[in-house]
Amino acid sequence: MPMYADMEDDSIAGCRLITLDTHGDSSTGTLAVIENGSIEGFVIKRVYFIYDVPAGVSRGHHSHKSLDQIIVPLRGSFDITVDDGRNKHTYHMSKPSEGLLVVAGIWHSIDNFSPDALCMVLASDIYEEADYIRLYNEFLDTKR
């Protein structure tokens, strides 16, 4: 079951920027902290990274049936477009102290990676291929 949205309420309104807990200053550097359960009860079951994305390549292009994600730009920048089948919104991600919560039932794509981009994804569950909707028309069918 999705943690933040259910299939009756899976609009892009459920996607939002999350400010990470940070400590430090410009004289010593900054430490960003993510502890299991520290982000609105988000339980981390998987962490993965995306990097060395060639210019012009777009990632994602899928939705999840029950998995929620928090996507964080550790270095560089990229854009995330979220789509609920009716509305779309694009977030420009460039602050390692911010992550974007992408709830289950939302189609998303990531593009415009800067050459140095390092994208970290925190997932609420382990990898299960059956949780993915990879065809946009199939995704739209779930919204009807």
**Catalytic residue numbers, as ranges:** 62
Short-list 138, 42, 63, 55, CA closest to 107: 63
Kind of pairing between the strands at 46-51 and 98-102: unpaired
Name the residue with tokens 């900054």: 30
What's phi and psi for 125, nearest 5 deg? -155, 170
Residues 6+ away with beta carbon under 8 Å from 105: 2, 5, 6, 7, 10, 63, 64, 65, 84, 142
